[in-house]
Structure 1
Amino acid sequence: MAFRRKRRHSETDPFTDLLFNALLGFTFMFLIAVFFLNPPTQTGEIPAKAEYIVTATWESGRPDDVDLWVQGPGGDTVWYLHPEAGLMNLDRDDRGLINDEMIVDGVRVTNELNQEVVTIRGRAPGEYIVNLQYYASQTGQPIVADVVVSRVNPRLQIVFKDQITLDYPGQERTAVRFTVDPDGSVSHVNTLPKSIVQ
């Protein structure tokens, strides 16, 4: 008596398995490609590099306007009408109380800080001249401004800090002159007057 073996037929054949695995592989590669095409956005990070920061700050809430002028080694000067020159940028032009108000969630908010900021984004060797000008006055009173020059890299170092008094509108005073040496260090810090206001 001969026994015949019955062939078992599987419910899926090898060709269907191959197609399913290929589809699974393409789906996986598509998801990886989408992940790398859309990297997560990083908010709030501004990679602005500065080597030196110059600030002039005067009495908060005062309506009077003081302008910061900085002249670099090549003779280029940054000021309110020329906010970029070489490696220097006027990052904040403060006009007293003008443009200090904004509406946040329906509430009027006032920023009373009076400050002008110039950043120097490199170490170009040569002399830098920092001047203040009493541009406009609503009070008619003298202004005392705190001037600070800071070296930021490789660590924070105060190069110069002093108070400068401006007695009347239109007056220009040299706050500080300093020299950046080829190695990035600062020398020859002085207050010899030189007019750079145009």
Structure 2
Amino acid sequence: MIYNPFDNSDDGGGTIFRDVIMLALMGFVVIVVLLLPHINPSKLKENIDVNPPGNVIVEIRWPDILDTDVDLWVQGPGDVPVGYSNKGGVLFNLLRDDIGHQGDVSKVNYENSFSRGIVEGEYTINLHLYRDGSGSLPIEVIVVVSVKENPDATTKRILARTVELTSVGQELTVFRFDLDKDGKLDAESVHDIYIPLRSGRSVR
């Protein structure tokens, strides 16, 4: 009998083997696709849970839908006011100066300042409404103050408040409060008696 290399009549076992391999490969691909959505959230959670830098952390948020420029101004003990026109002092730095939707692809309305260390004394937090491009007065702004006593400590929120800005050019004091050298808040020191920071350059 002459051997015919094109005769597949006896290749039943090979066909079954190929089918089993293909099914196993397809099953592996399906499992990988199903597992992918469960791999990324843990990574995202790690990023969210990372403590921000700085010791005294001041953050403000206002509605993202508004093309509005709200400015954060802060002043620490023995330091000059820090805000959009003076982004750094001895103690504080303004890390994000948000001017509304202009030049901001994220459309997130958010500003924050961080201190390098904790100095005992009075801290002042002000807001200033620089521009209202949306014509949506009043503007509600959430203000949060947190403290991290040392690099290994967790960040603790010590003050939070929602305030309204009612006119362009308005500046208001949200918080004035005292911290001790360890970052402990003196609850009896908290008040909001107005003191201007935006035009100030003096050290208190």
TM-score (norm 1): 0.68
Aligned match of 1:167: 166
Structure 1, 68-77 or 187-196: larger mean CA deviation: 187-196
Aligned match of 2:177: 178
More helix, by proportion: 2
In terms of Rg, which structure is larger?
1
- Residue aligned with 2:172, SS: strand
Aligned match of 1:158: 157
Q: 8 Å contact 2:76–2:123 — kept in the other structure?
A: yes
Q: Could you list the runs of 5+ residues in structure 2 that have no partner in the other structure?
A: 1-46, 200-204
Aligned match of 2:64: 60
Is 2:118 aligned against 1:118? no
Aligned residue identity for 2:67: P
- Matched positions, count: 145
Aligned match of 2:54: 50
Structure 1 residue 163: deviation in Å? 0.3
Cα distance in 2 for partners of 1:81, 1:196 equals 11
Q: 8 Å contact 2:77–2:122 — kept in the other structure?
A: yes
Aligned match of 1:73: 77
Cα distance in 1 for partners of 2:129, 2:53 equals 29
Moved over 2 A (4+): 152-156
Aligned residue identity for 1:194: I
CA RMSD of aligned residues (A): 2.0
Cα distance in 2 for partners of 1:170, 1:54 equals 21
Cα distance in 2 for partners of 1:58, 1:196 equals 20
Q: 8 Å contact 2:147–2:183 — kept in the other structure?
A: no
Structure 1 residue 142: deviation in Å? 1.4
Deviations 1:70-126 (A, max 9, x none): 01111411111111101211000000001112xxxxxxxxx1210010001211111
Mapping for residues 1-198 of structure 1, pairs under 5 Å: 49-101=53-105, 111-140=106-135, 141-153=137-149, 154-187=153-186, 188-198=189-199
* Residues 72 and 100 of structure 1, relative CA distance in 2, 3 Å threshold: same
Q: 8 Å contact 1:61–1:96 — kept in the other structure?
A: no
TM-score (norm 2): 0.66
Query: What percentage of aligned pairs have identical amino acids?
Result: 35
